[in-house]
Structure 1
């Protein structure tokens, strides 16, 4: 008689068990019963129960339970009493925890036992059910039997609501074989026949054939040179054995490491967690070395060892040691899986090397075409942890992470160097640190130059007509150079491209774009969308020049008409005179400092149509530049130098200034 809170015991079963766990438990118990009987003709018959209701679509009915029958020793008194004892130690030598039967009630409503056993010279029949409250064995009956042999039938049924099995026998068979594989592959051990079938015995599948039958096998072992590895535990060293298998037609499964305890698969992880190249399936090759696209497979690396046997959890759904480093037992699961993954990688040799080279080429292509500033980093980075088929975002993230790590290391080295009082102790390190700094600086410079190339491509495109022959809207070109309605308090140095017009703009203190020079609405000309000014200057000192820009839409030339109020030359002259007269202040409210000799520069950017050139030559008295892509004039009375340059010249000059860098980078 037992007194156990069975409901509580079942509720405390860990979540990493599955619907297959109790079925595997019963099959293993059947195997052990056959082994104990010493039979050479041992057989385990697993019969599937299905829902009696026929599916409307003609598919197979749902699986609702299983009958697991064996011709083993049967439930004699010793086995019966063991079943009635929580945490029994009857099968401790075989790794029994005395708890596995409780997983049956986690996934099935009932567990029934019918058994024939030998009691002295006679055979007896024992039947009982597993209780759900305090008694483990309920409704027990023992009667004389007229059977000729011993054996047991364990029934798990019906399946609890919300649980489900695969419908196809072949799929169920695959799942069982993968979990029971250690029984089929253990050296010097012959596993009894295990047969899965429908309830009436039809559609029988012999699970042993998945491994032993060379013609129909879906699981094959890979011969490897190194099968063992050793890890240091708290007070000793533990040895582990690894056997690597191909699993063909794996559906949506991934290559996996499986940790085994007492011939049963317990837990594990996907191999690509450690070696990304295992994330995809592999394809078998024929005798001629040609790829057979119909013969796909994954890898399963089974790990065995006394350390695993000793530390398997109560429900065999996991282990007592930690996932990472274990301070008490000394070895964590990650350590075991990492070494097993290395052996799996060795087993797959050329296939993994090919994939790693392919990944390296993918990353190299990204750097060459999209991010040449990372070339120096790519020479040193370890790509082993990068996903097998990385996206551009994943590559960039990994390279940026490496760049950041290098910068942190340099800062640490520099800080250590600066703290050293004896220069003789650090002079050997100086050159190395300087080279590291130079390398990261070149990375940033290459990034900046490559970005310039992209911006110039976009800028050139904005100067072209679209399919309808229309030029870009008036704000597009302006915004590429400098966003409208803004200044350098809003738009930082990194977010504008004033260098397209003049490199000096990168070093100014303040830039105002499309804003009244004195705030509010004071002295703001009636400007159209594209007719905007840009004013820039260095430090607010009288000796520093002040530069004003006027942008005109490509191909626009109506501002030269006598009736136009948008004469850009006159606008610049008016701005200069207003600034000289002290009408405008800095953003901090200080007067803009000018003197009689403060130089002013004015730039008008527009398309030099014939109409504009005639206007400049005949009415404005401008002089053409040698390339005829610009005109200039010096107004000595107000210290103003004015240039009228074409959009083509702006683009051409910007490209010319950067061309040598583009050539050096091969972009």
Structure 2
């Protein structure tokens, strides 16, 4: 009679178990009972119990439980007493924890045992069920038996709140085979024959042993050149063995690495976590390279070793060492799985290599076409961790991360070098660090120039006519140069493209784009720029130039009509006079400091139609530029230099200034 709080014990089962765990436990117990009996014709039968209403699609009821039958030694008094003892040591030599049977009660409401055992030369029947109070064995009966041989049938039924994940017999069979594959492939101990069938169909069923070792088997072991590895564990070393298998007809399964303890799979994790090229299933052609008879497969790498046997948890759902870095035990789960993944990769040979080559080509295409600024960095970076089919975002994020890591390392090295008191080490290290800094700077410059090419392509497109034969408004092209209703207080330093107008404008201290200069509804220029040239500092504020731009819609020229109230030249002159008179402040309340010598630059960007050219020459007294794509005039009394430029000239000049950079990058 036991005295165990069974319910509390079951409630505290946590680590890594699932609804398949009890079934695997019963099958292993059946194998051990047959081994104990020492028969050659060992047989285990798994019957599937169902309940509820059949599904409309597959016409199968949900699985409610299982009956596992064997022709082993049965529940002798010794086995019975062991069952009734928490943490029994009876099967310790075979890796027994004396606890596995309690996982049955975690997932099923009912556990009943019916067994025939030998007592001397007589057979007896023993039956009982597992209790949920203080006793492990309840309702036990013993009687003389009329059966011809020993054996046991254990039924688990009344599945609890969790739903059994699978319905089909072949799916359940596949899971059991994978979980118990070490038993099927053990060269030293023959696995009993294991059949699985529906409880309602005694004549049907599938032999789990047939998954291996026959023609067209669904599981085939792969040859590996070196199937062992060693890892250091503190001051010791631990040996591991790896066996790799092909699993055909994988459906939605993934290639995995499984850690085994005492011939039972304990954990399984995707191989792609270590080698991304395992993300997709593989294909094997049929005899004589016949594609029509080929089969898809995934790979499963099983790892064995005393270190795993010694460190498996009580419930056999996990290990006692850490998943990642394990300072106490010395060896982590990820280290073991990484080595097993590499052995699985070697077993596959060229297929993984070809997948990696395709990934590398994909990365090279991205860098060449989309991110040439990463060209130097890409030659130094390891891309093994990227997905098998990386997206542009995957590649870019990986490169940005490596770039950041390289910059941090360089800064640390520079700081350490500056603190060094040994002059002899400076020379060579300085050269190395300068090369590193130069590479980083080149990457940034290439990225910046490439972005300019994209902006100019977009700018050129904006000057074309729409499908309706009309040009875009000046607002559309305005937004490309600088977003409307914004100023440099609203936008980041580099969130504009003023370089299209003039490279010097990149270093402006304040920019206002289509915003009133003095009050919410006041006059507003398209772009007003208060420049702070590098040569002028401190007291020379008044000598900093102010630049004003006005944009007109491509092909629009009605502003040149005598009756027009939108004369852009007159508008700029008026703005200049008002600024000189001290009427304006910036939208943030800052003074615009000017004096009589403050230079002003005005630019009107429009299309130079015949009407506009005539207007500029005969009414505005402008002088044509040598290329014919612009006009200029000096307003001496206002210290105002003004140009009227065509959209074509603006684009061509910007392209010409940047052409040498585009050419060097091969993106022109």
Q: Same fold (TM over 0.5)?
A: yes
User: Within 1, Cα distance between the matches of 2:63 and 2:283?
Assistant: 33
Instruction: After TM superposition, list the pairs within 5 Å mapping 1:184-195 onto structure 2.
Output: 184-195=184-195
User: Within 1, Cα distance between the matches of 2:492 and 2:165?
Assistant: 61
Moved more, 289-298 or 354-363: 289-298
Report the Cα offset of residue 268 of structure 1: 2.8
Instruction: After TM superposition, list the pairs within 5 Å mapping 1:332-411 onto structure 2.
Output: 332-411=332-411
Where 2:467 maps in the other structure, the secondary structure is: coil
Where 2:267 maps in the other structure, the secondary structure is: strand
Do 2:286 and 2:293's aligned partners in 1 also have CA atoms closer than 8 Å?
Answer: no
The CA deviation string for residues 133-191 of structure 1, in whole angstroms up to 9 with x for no partner, is 11111111111112221111111123224321522111111011001100011122211
Q: Alignment partner for residue 537 of structure 1, among 507, 516, 531?
A: 531
The CA deviation string for residues 238-272 of structure 1, in whole angstroms up to 9 with x for no partner, is 10000000111222221111111111111132111
Report the Cα offset of residue 57 of structure 1: 5.6
The change in CA–CA distance for 1:647 and 1:113 in structure 2 (over 3 A counts) is same
- Residue 451 of structure 2 is aligned to residue 457 of structure 1: no
User: Within 1, Cα distance between the matches of 2:290 and 2:439?
Assistant: 45
Do 1:259 and 1:266's aligned partners in 2 also have CA atoms closer than 8 Å?
Answer: yes
User: Within 2, Cα distance between the matches of 1:110 and 1:328?
Assistant: 41
Report the Cα offset of residue 313 of structure 1: 1.0
1:205 maps to what in 2?
A: 206
Moved more, 533-542 or 258-267: 533-542
The change in CA–CA distance for 1:594 and 1:422 in structure 2 (over 3 A counts) is farther
Do 2:499 and 2:505's aligned partners in 1 also have CA atoms closer than 8 Å?
Answer: yes
The change in CA–CA distance for 1:366 and 1:55 in structure 2 (over 3 A counts) is closer
- Residue 44 of structure 2 is aligned to residue 33 of structure 1: no
1:601 maps to what in 2?
A: 601
Do 2:530 and 2:546's aligned partners in 1 also have CA atoms closer than 8 Å?
Answer: yes
Report the Cα offset of residue 533 of structure 1: 4.2
Report the Cα offset of residue 574 of structure 1: 2.1
User: Within 1, Cα distance between the matches of 2:161 and 2:574?
Assistant: 86
The change in CA–CA distance for 1:400 and 1:105 in structure 2 (over 3 A counts) is same
Question: Normalization by structure 2: what TM-score?
Answer: 0.95
The change in CA–CA distance for 1:54 and 1:612 in structure 2 (over 3 A counts) is closer
2:661 maps to what in 1?
A: 661
2:537 maps to what in 1?
A: none
The CA deviation string for residues 314-355 of structure 1, in whole angstroms up to 9 with x for no partner, is 111111222123333322211111111111111122111111
Do 2:322 and 2:333's aligned partners in 1 also have CA atoms closer than 8 Å?
Answer: yes
Question: Normalization by structure 1: what TM-score?
Answer: 0.95
Report the Cα offset of residue 521 of structure 1: 5.1
1:483 maps to what in 2?
A: 483
Do 1:483 and 1:496's aligned partners in 2 also have CA atoms closer than 8 Å?
Answer: yes
User: Within 1, Cα distance between the matches of 2:530 and 2:592?
Assistant: 15
The change in CA–CA distance for 1:58 and 1:646 in structure 2 (over 3 A counts) is closer
The change in CA–CA distance for 1:642 and 1:238 in structure 2 (over 3 A counts) is same
User: Within 2, Cα distance between the matches of 1:154 and 1:393?
Assistant: 54
Instruction: After TM superposition, list the pairs within 5 Å mapping 1:553-568 onto structure 2.
Output: 553-568=553-568
Where 1:347 maps in the other structure, the secondary structure is: helix
The change in CA–CA distance for 1:519 and 1:416 in structure 2 (over 3 A counts) is farther
Instruction: After TM superposition, list the pairs within 5 Å mapping 1:69-80 onto structure 2.
Output: 69-80=69-80
Where 1:147 maps in the other structure, the secondary structure is: coil
Do 2:232 and 2:331's aligned partners in 1 also have CA atoms closer than 8 Å?
Answer: yes
1:105 maps to what in 2?
A: 105
Do 2:15 and 2:315's aligned partners in 1 also have CA atoms closer than 8 Å?
Answer: no
Report the Cα offset of residue 475 of structure 1: 1.4
Report the Cα offset of residue 291 of structure 1: 5.5
User: Within 2, Cα distance between the matches of 1:292 and 1:226?
Assistant: 33
- Structure 1: stretches of 5+ with no match in the other structure: none
User: Within 2, Cα distance between the matches of 1:165 and 1:485?
Assistant: 59
1:234 maps to what in 2?
A: 234
TM-align CA RMSD: 1.9
- Structure 2: stretches of 5+ with no match in the other structure: 534-539
User: Within 1, Cα distance between the matches of 2:306 and 2:424?
Assistant: 55
User: Within 2, Cα distance between the matches of 1:369 and 1:293?
Assistant: 40
1:436 maps to what in 2?
A: 436
Do 1:550 and 1:603's aligned partners in 2 also have CA atoms closer than 8 Å?
Answer: yes
Where 1:111 maps in the other structure, the secondary structure is: strand
Report the Cα offset of residue 290 of structure 1: 6.5
1:219 maps to what in 2?
A: 219
Where 1:113 maps in the other structure, the secondary structure is: strand
User: Within 2, Cα distance between the matches of 1:378 and 1:54?
Assistant: 57
The change in CA–CA distance for 1:387 and 1:654 in structure 2 (over 3 A counts) is same
User: Within 1, Cα distance between the matches of 2:383 and 2:291?
Assistant: 27
**Pairs aligned (count):** 659
The change in CA–CA distance for 1:223 and 1:486 in structure 2 (over 3 A counts) is same
